[in-house]
């Protein structure tokens, strides 16, 4: 197999000189501008020997709203063969270069718009440079990789966190240091998505970018101190090494390297971004598995062939996937289609058919639970009583939905606020067996509500008020619970929040 790749490589070195157009990588840098600058220097060296240009553009402008910047990029007609999103990651991307955060559900919404289909389907590689961008492995003995990089101070003591509530407190303590703008409540919701095992982040990104290989991290990603700007150049170097592992073609991509190495690296990245296009790469294509394997190698320097590899991080907390289109996963493809349908205005007949399909399969239901929940809230806001009644009666008859919601409500990976939302959803569709879950939610909420909160802890004070109001609005607390809370709470700040919460909800 390797001989075939080597022969193809040399044929490709000749053929790519005659390619009609180059490749373009779009950057969204929310925290570390060095990553874009380093990649620009790296590609500058490749373009000196390649007649097929490889260009990059930064689309996150300083201090702008990243959601608006992302939509503006798509509307501009930008053609991205590769996409890099980089920053502190909590389930959404943020950092010092942005005002706000780039949200996954916002990208999902855009990807459902038929006008933007070509943009999302053109991308062949997506690099998600932040902590837990491909979710978190839920295991009890997880350890920080020796020497593993960290995106920021918020990663300290992350090993002990296996719940969304824990991550809320961990990251919430250093919001200012990490230049994040989310509230504690938003952090908790985002980490609920990050830890979700029924609708994993990796599958959500695969559905948004169906033709792209996916490269990201399952825990701490290399940050500024660990030279995260070298991550993608290292990845490209390892793609080249897997195709032809002769030492003279595997030089440090962050320093001076020969023109021959530059040609090999150029061919590697063009193969990754154009390999599926026979017109642009008639004699050469890199199988997506090569890109996946190279990504794993670039983060596991001590684990390959019994010897350390150069130009690698010593961080095993990474993961990669071939594209959805290459794997042909019909379940994920259909989950995407159903998610987009649930976001549209359907006739009652169409909605009935969609619900029948989603509720009939536990995996499809896991992928689309949030879409069902969002639709329930939308119908309530629209005061569409007839449609809402039909919708809830349909859901109430589903044993699959009942099992899934009960599992979510008991899971530590689901944050407290999300549990309250799911609890209200569960009760609203007519389910009666919720006393056990109600008790769990109350206990979890009281653990926080009775803690001492300092005057300076503005984020925790706001979260107290948000949590208390949510409990009241969703009828989780009774009068005796409020009396007990007042008796147990340890400071006047909490009492003030209770008073404001009661006044806000009438």
Q: What is the reported pTM?
A: 0.89
Q: What is the pLDDT of residues 406-440, one digit of tens each?
A: 999 999 999 999 999 999 999 988 877 788 888 98
Structural domain for 337, as ranges:
330-410
Same structural domain for residues 108 and 227? yes
Same structural domain for residues 107 and 226? yes
Per-residue pLDDT of the chain (506 residues; tens, 9 = 90+): 344 334 333 434 444 444 447 899 999 999 999 999 999 999 999 999 998 999 999 999 998 999 999 999 999 999 999 999 999 999 999 999 999 999 999 999 999 999 999 999 999 999 999 999 999 876 543 323 322 333 444 554 566 788 999 999 999 999 988 889 999 999 999 999 999 999 999 999 999 999 999 999 999 999 888 899 999 999 999 999 998 878 778 999 999 999 999 999 999 999 999 865 545 444 456 789 999 999 999 988 765 556 677 898 888 889 999 999 999 999 999 999 999 999 999 999 999 999 999 999 999 999 999 999 999 999 988 888 888 888 999 999 999 999 999 999 999 999 999 999 999 999 988 877 788 888 989 999 998 988 888 888 999 989 998 998 899 899 898 888 888 888 887 666 666 767 666 666 65
Same structural domain for residues 6 and 25? yes
Same structural domain for residues 277 and 173? yes
Same structural domain for residues 162 and 310? yes
Q: If you search the block for the tokens 């300083």, which residue do you land on? A: 62
- Give the CA angle between residues 368, 370, 376 to the nearest 5°: 105
CA distance 46 to 361: 49
Same structural domain for residues 198 and 280? yes
| In contact, 368 and 360? CB cutoff 8 Å | no
Residue 79 counted as domain residue: yes
Residue 425 counted as domain residue: no
Residue 416 counted as domain residue: no
CA distance 203 to 181: 26
Residue 466 counted as domain residue: yes
Residue 428 counted as domain residue: no
The confidence score (pLDDT) of residue 390 equals 87
CA 462 to chain centre: 26
Domain end marker among 377, 410, 443: 410
CA distance 228 to 35: 7
Domain end marker among 292, 327, 362: 327
Residue 237 counted as domain residue: yes
Residue 427 counted as domain residue: no
Average pLDDT, the chain: 86
Same structural domain for residues 321 and 343? no
CA distance 329 to 336: 11
Number of domains in the chain: 3
Q: If you search the block for the tokens 């971004």, which residue do you land on? A: 273
Same structural domain for residues 387 and 463? no
CA distance 204 to 186: 19
| In contact, 155 and 131? CB cutoff 8 Å | yes
In this structure, what token pair is assigned to residue 343?
């976001």
Same structural domain for residues 365 and 312? no
Residue 417 counted as domain residue: no
Same structural domain for residues 388 and 477? no
Q: What is the pLDDT of residues 202-257, one digit of tens each?
A: 999 999 999 999 999 999 999 888 899 999 999 999 999 998 878 778 999 999 99
Same structural domain for residues 299 and 355? no
| In contact, 309 and 319? CB cutoff 8 Å | no
Q: Please state, in angstroms and as integers, the Cα–Cα distance from residue 389 to each residue in 348, 423, 428, 430, 432, following that order.
A: 12, 18, 10, 10, 17
Domain end marker among 280, 307, 327: 327
Same structural domain for residues 226 and 352? no
Which helix (H) or strand (E) element contains residue 336? Answer: helix 330-342
SS3 content of the chain, % helix, strand, coil (to 5): 55, 10, 35
């Amino acid at each position: 197999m390797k001989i075939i790749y080597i022969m193809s490589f040399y044929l490709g070195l000749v053929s790519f000189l005659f390619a009609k157009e180059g490749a373009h990588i779009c950057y969204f840098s929310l925290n570390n501008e060095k990553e874009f600058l380093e990649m620009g220097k790296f590609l500058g060296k490749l373009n000196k020997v390649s007649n097929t240009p490889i260009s990059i553009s930064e689309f996150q402008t300083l201090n702008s709203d990243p959601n608006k910047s992302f939509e503006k990029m798509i509307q501009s007609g930008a053609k991205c063969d590769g996409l890099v999103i980089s920053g502190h990651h909590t389930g959404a991307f943020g950092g010092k270069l942005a005002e706000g955060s780039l949200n996954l559900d916002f990208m999902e919404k855009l990807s459902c718009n038929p006008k933007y289909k070509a943009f999302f389907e053109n991308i062949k590689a997506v690099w998600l440079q932040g902590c837990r961008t491909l979710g978190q492995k839920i295991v009890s003995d997880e350890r920080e990789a020796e020497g593993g990089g960290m995106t920021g101070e918020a990663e300290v003591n992350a090993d002990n966190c296996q719940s969304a509530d824990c991550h809320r407190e961990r990251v919430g303590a250093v919001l200012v240091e990490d230049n994040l703008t989310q509230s504690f409540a938003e952090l908790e919701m985002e980490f609920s998505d990050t830890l979700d095992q029924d609708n994993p982040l990796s599958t959500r990104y695969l559905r948004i970018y169906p033709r792209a290989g996916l490269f990201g991290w399952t825990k701490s990603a290399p940050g500024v101190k660990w030279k995260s700007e070298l991550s993608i150049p290292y990845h490209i170097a390892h793609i080249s090494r897997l195709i032809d592992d002769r030492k003279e073609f595997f030089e440090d991509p962050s320093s001076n390297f020969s023109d021959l190495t530059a040609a090999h690296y150029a061919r590697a990245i063009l193969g990754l971004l154009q390999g599926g296009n026979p017109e642009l790469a008639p004699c050469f294509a890199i199988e997506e598995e090569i890109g996946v394997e190279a990504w794993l190698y670039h983060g596991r320097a001590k684990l390959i062939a019994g010897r350390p590899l150069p130009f690698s991080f010593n961080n095993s907390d990474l993961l990669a996937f071939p594209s959805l289109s290459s794997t042909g996963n019909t379940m994920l493809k259909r989950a995407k289609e159903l998610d987009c349908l649930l976001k549209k205005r359907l006739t009652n007949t169409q909605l009935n058919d969609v619900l029948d399909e989603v509720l009939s399969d536990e995996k499809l239901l896991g992928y689309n639970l949030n879409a069902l929940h969002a639709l329930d809230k939308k119908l309530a806001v629209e005061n569409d009583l007839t449609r809402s009644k039909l919708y809830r009666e349909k859901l109430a008859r589903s044993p699959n939905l009942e099992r899934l919601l009960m599992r979510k409500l008991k899971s530590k990976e689901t944050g407290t606020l999300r549990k309250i939302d799911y609890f209200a959803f569960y009760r609203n569709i007519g389910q009666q067996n919720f006393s056990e879950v109600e008790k769990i939610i109350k206990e979890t909420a009281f653990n926080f509500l009775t803690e001492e909160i300092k005057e300076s802890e503005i984020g925790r004070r706001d979260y107290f008020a948000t949590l208390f109001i949510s409990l009241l609005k969703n009828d989780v607390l009774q009068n005796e619970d409020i009396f007990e809370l007042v008796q147990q709470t340890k400071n006047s700040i909490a009492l003030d929040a209770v008073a404001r919460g009661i006044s806000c909800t009438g």
